[in-house]
Structure 1
């Protein structure tokens, strides 16, 4: 059945305002074009196969218009995306969404729209950046849809409580924008103090809800050769204190972060992430490398089915603050410059709880200063019931939710 969703009046008005602003010669407009094709395959005992999507062929195209400008201390930024998806992944995503409760809205305003959709086609648009900022020598304030990154993690980002990337994310160029009010004060010694308020609704179309919102203070502190950070936040009804520290170590760089939560139910889980990274040469090629350990205080033991996950964990999985249900992980990876234009990036994530593994490879070929060709592949390995072999949907069901194997090719061009 064909479905149409009208673009909201607010979205349309803001979009037109951005287009009108593009007429100014002082504004800076860039365009990014993405083209891609994907193949996914899953085991016969997975939910993918149960829904009839054990093998999936898909293609996609997208264009992102990026406009920024302003006058003096006042600046604005607008990013508008139009995406086209065709193939099996459209139907699979729709079928999978129908089996789980809808996640809470990530932002106060719904600036997304499905222009057209049928069984295997979807055309959608969204406003991913829409902000106005004022900057002085020591002070920054910004309001609207924007992106913010905190935390010391390289792969796992437990300290990044506002729309973090997934550990297995291939594309990390643009973090999803979120509606927020942001302020920063810069001290003369290089330290700073940041404050952010992220208003949200409990359900789509509902009223503003304090218990679904985030209010946070964050400060970067210089401690000699070390970089420290502290964050105190009230996040979706819970409280968290994060402490971070990092610095040089024999030509490499280390970082560590501990997060102590106090949940509304009285429990107090702890998260911890530590990593080390460096650069060098191997066989005459420039390389970078990293190793990271992550402890998930919200995690559960292997073989825990999805319908037995505690509320504190399932909530964070649905909001995108966490992406794995296990407790202890190690990530290893790096990059090697095979030629000045070709970068090869292998990575692996290992669950220390059940020895399951998620492996990924990416090759990026820079065709020019403004164009890239990207090849990527990934797959999970492990026994049924493990983190990357797949967790059972419910005890005794024999159906598992596991990361499907994936292979893709993509082309990116900036104008």
Structure 2
């Protein structure tokens, strides 16, 4: 296994390949970070990150996909944060498929296979087995109906998003409608997920109907995606019946049901200026001292510990090769916020550079009060 990972780490990212039977591509990135931790103070970090995406076609209907991310960490975070590598590794119930090349007090190197699945189709059926991404949400920031792969928009350097070990089956009833079932097995009941989804299309809207079991909690949901006068209009509603044991463990849970809802609208103007607004509501969310509610919100699968969250984004081109963006996430209950300005420069067809900032405000126990201020600079070469 180490020989396989080593070969993938060192050689293939310098070229891309494609044929009738296989595809290989990926990228290599460098990320400089200046991060203000509430406990450890300000640190400087460096990350070299390469990725290999490969796909093998056995036939027109069967393929296998393997994708590996390789990362070398160096800097203050490793020196100051105990067991730093455990905070950045993915954790799966049936093996992580990863290798730690080294782990010292100043640097660490880690490779992991975050995609590894086989996909097969037969007439109207499709079956996918293995470590994959199951993205069931329609909104662009918060996806309460995404039971398998929820993500944080603040994790901007992981474009591929997390994967999950699962079995997924589709039956296409038409070109725009289908029935889907997905199962995420786990060693403990609280981590298992079993859910089904029906995709319909009415009035030029994709409409999703979902039901299943999220751990020991029963789940129901719906989502939609369409447009109003040229503006994208999306939304999600998710309801979970909370197990009695969880309500006993977390006294902050005040109702036997957890209800989350998202509304999202976005619009692109003719000059390529982009506006995006989104709002999230959690009936179980905290209205004060949101950080104290984090353990309960994590167990409930909430995407934020807050009762209300508001997102606003604006992006525009200042040059055909340079784009400036910025977004804010605001908690109106505790008046905390995080602002993320960014700029990207397309240097050539395969090379780009990016800048990101993270500026937070709020009291110490508020949702974003301990985020501090951070700066990130990234260079990326794709192949």
TM-score interval for Structure 1 and Structure 2 normalised by the shorter chain: 0.7 to 0.9
The answer to whether the aligner puts 1:269 opposite 2:264 as a matched pair is no
**Matched ranges for 1:227-242 at <5 A:** 227-242=206-221
User: Which of 35, 54, 76 does residue 67 from structure 1 map onto?
Assistant: 54
**C-alpha spacing 1:305/1:132, structure 2 compared with 1 (3 Å):** closer
The answer to whether the aligner puts 1:351 opposite 2:348 as a matched pair is no
Query: Which moved further from structure 2: 344-353 or 297-306?
Result: 297-306
- C-alpha separation between the residues in 2 aligned to 1:88 and 1:351? 30
**C-alpha spacing 1:215/1:249, structure 2 compared with 1 (3 Å):** same
Q: How many residue pairs are counted as aligned between the two chains?
A: 366
**C-alpha spacing 1:172/1:280, structure 2 compared with 1 (3 Å):** farther
TM-score by length of 2: 0.87
- C-alpha separation between the residues in 1 aligned to 2:231 and 2:326? 19
**Matched ranges for 1:40-59 at <5 A:** 40-42=35-37, 46=38, 48=39, 53-59=40-46
Aligned partner of residue 82 in structure 2, secondary structure:
helix
Query: Given that residues 145 and 223 in structure 2 are in contact (C-alpha distance below 8 angstroms), is that contact kept between their aligned partners in structure 1?
Result: no
The answer to whether the aligner puts 1:34 opposite 2:34 as a matched pair is no
Per-residue CA deviation, residues 65-93 of structure 1 (Å, 9 max, x unaligned), is 11102122110101122210000122344
Query: Given that residues 87 and 121 in structure 1 are in contact (C-alpha distance below 8 angstroms), is that contact kept between their aligned partners in structure 2?
Result: yes
The answer to whether the aligner puts 1:249 opposite 2:228 as a matched pair is yes
**C-alpha spacing 1:272/1:30, structure 2 compared with 1 (3 Å):** same
- C-alpha separation between the residues in 2 aligned to 1:65 and 1:331? 33
**Matched ranges for 1:1-400 at <5 A:** 26-42=21-37, 46=38, 48=39, 53-70=40-57, 71-94=59-82, 105-188=91-174, 190-200=176-186, 208-265=187-244, 267-281=256-270, 285-303=271-289, 306=292, 309=293, 312-316=296-300, 321-389=301-369
TM-score by length of 1: 0.81
Per-residue CA deviation, residues 247-268 of structure 1 (Å, 9 max, x unaligned), is 2212212112111110112711
- C-alpha separation between the residues in 2 aligned to 1:115 and 1:104? 16
- CA displacement at 1:210 relative to structure 2: 3.8
Aligned partner of residue 161 in structure 2, secondary structure:
coil
- C-alpha separation between the residues in 2 aligned to 1:311 and 1:239? 20
Per-residue CA deviation, residues 198-249 of structure 1 (Å, 9 max, x unaligned), is 112xxxxxxx334421111012211122221111121111111111234221
Corresponding residue for residue 407 of structure 1: 375
**C-alpha spacing 1:31/1:290, structure 2 compared with 1 (3 Å):** closer
Per-residue CA deviation, residues 181-209 of structure 1 (Å, 9 max, x unaligned), is 11111112511111111112xxxxxxx33
- CA displacement at 1:369 relative to structure 2: 2.2
- C-alpha separation between the residues in 2 aligned to 1:337 and 1:35? 24
- C-alpha separation between the residues in 1 aligned to 2:80 and 2:148? 27
Q: Which has the higher contact order (CA 8 A, sep 6+)?
A: 1
- C-alpha separation between the residues in 2 aligned to 1:210 and 1:384? 35
**C-alpha spacing 1:343/1:140, structure 2 compared with 1 (3 Å):** same
Q: Which runs of 5+ in 1 are unaligned?
A: 1-6, 201-207, 390-401
- C-alpha separation between the residues in 2 aligned to 1:154 and 1:93? 32
Query: Given that residues 67 and 79 in structure 1 are in contact (C-alpha distance below 8 angstroms), is that contact kept between their aligned partners in structure 2?
Result: yes
Aligned partner of residue 140 in structure 2, secondary structure:
coil
Per-residue CA deviation, residues 142-187 of structure 1 (Å, 9 max, x unaligned), is 1111111111322122221212221322235211221111111111
CA RMSD of aligned residues (A): 2.9
Per-residue CA deviation, residues 389-412 of structure 1 (Å, 9 max, x unaligned), is 1xxxxxxxxxxxx21321111111
